[in-house]
Amino acid sequence: MNRPTGRNDPTVAPGPVFARDAAAADVVASLEEHGYALVHRLADPATLARLNDELDPYLAAVPLGRTDFAGHRTKRINNLIAKSPAAGELALNPLVMSVCDRVLLPYCVRYHLHVTTIIELQPGERSQGLHRDGGIYPVRFPSIPMTLATIWACTDFTAENGGTNLVPGSHRWEHGREPREDEIVPSVMPAGSVLIYTSNFIHGSGPNSSNGTRRGMALHYNLGWLRQEENQYLSVPPDVARGLPEPLQRLIGYDFGGPYLGFVEKGNPQALLQDEAGDMARARPEDYERAQRIVPLVIAPDAARRNA
């Protein structure tokens, strides 16, 4: 693992930077220590080129955002699994899957793809409000990791063009603590790289003061017993899902989120996508085994009162 290099070196991203052959354990250690990790050039150039080619027509057609959070000079598109085979390939990236296994599987039987978004900052865009992705759920921070975010750099990310603003260490901060200006650092990484962090980590897109666009692809994963941010079943209905590789079908949610969780007609939604009847058992034995290994969470009945 390369050690943090500091924000004053303009050629290298601040914080923990890894090469594409990084070990998942080292990336996870970085998430635990710093709250984030950058893996340089994890996507090969051909995949990245296909991704951008597949998305260009959608981005050309989409209007600018209309809210402060989505950005007034930002183009966003969702439902990337139905739109781009290259996005589906990157969603299944082996290093990312291995990091998800280590970060999310201690808390769930299976994780799912949570949300897919292209975020293209146009010149003149301002900073997005800093936030934690876990804010979508009613929990107090820091919490267990509910989501794992990946932001793939489809173009270079620089301090000038809006490379994601990061708040190192904020994954451990108490609820409500706001970062000072000097605690925020921009992510700097070449196209094809990926930024990784969890639901506890404070971040937001940076301001684009350059003349070019900054294109990022957010592919986030969540615990299989939480509702996904993007409704993957309406976005990728069965007729479309049948055309996807089986691991991707399962990842977007055509599978149990735990024993009994998410069944259809007494069976696994995976069976719906097969021509044959499939395994209509309500859950797989391995799901029960995994469920046994999860330490039950404490959600005390008086938690709301205590947190007020």
Of positions 78, 164, 193, 208, contacts ligand AKG by CB under 6 A: 164
Query: What is the total count of residues that contact ligand AKG (CB under 6 A)?
Result: 8
**Which residue lies nearer to ligand AKG by CB, 164 or 213?**
164
Q: Check residue 78 for interaction with ligand AKG (CB under 6 A).
A: no
Q: Check residue 200 for interaction with ligand AKG (CB under 6 A).
A: no
Q: Check residue 204 for interaction with ligand AKG (CB under 6 A).
A: yes
Contact map string, positions 138 to 157, toward ligand AKG, x by CB under 6 A: -------------x------
- Counting Cβ atoms within 10 Å, is residue 94 exposed (0-12), middle (13-18) or buried (19+)? exposed
**Which residue lies nearer to ligand AKG by CB, 155 or 268?**
155
Instruction: Tell me the window of 12-20, 106-114, 172-180, 199-207 that interacts with ligand AKG (CB under 6 A).
Output: 199-207
Instruction: Tell me the window of 8-16, 201-209, 258-266, 268-276 that interacts with ligand AKG (CB under 6 A).
Output: 201-209
Q: Check residue 203 for interaction with ligand AKG (CB under 6 A).
A: yes
d(CA 198, CA 166): 12
**Which residue lies nearer to ligand AKG by CB, 229 or 287?**
229
Of positions 150, 158, 205, 270, contacts ligand AKG by CB under 6 A: 205
Q: Closest approach of Cβ 131 to ligand AKG, in Å?
A: 6
Q: Closest approach of Cβ 128 to ligand AKG, in Å?
A: 6
Q: Closest approach of Cβ 27 to ligand AKG, in Å?
A: 19
**Which residue lies nearer to ligand AKG by CB, 197 or 225?**
197
Q: Closest approach of Cβ 100 to ligand AKG, in Å?
A: 18
Residues 6+ apart with CB under 8 A from 300: 306
Q: Check residue 216 for interaction with ligand AKG (CB under 6 A).
A: yes
Binding site for ligand AKG (CB under 6 A): 119, 128, 151, 164, 203-205, 216
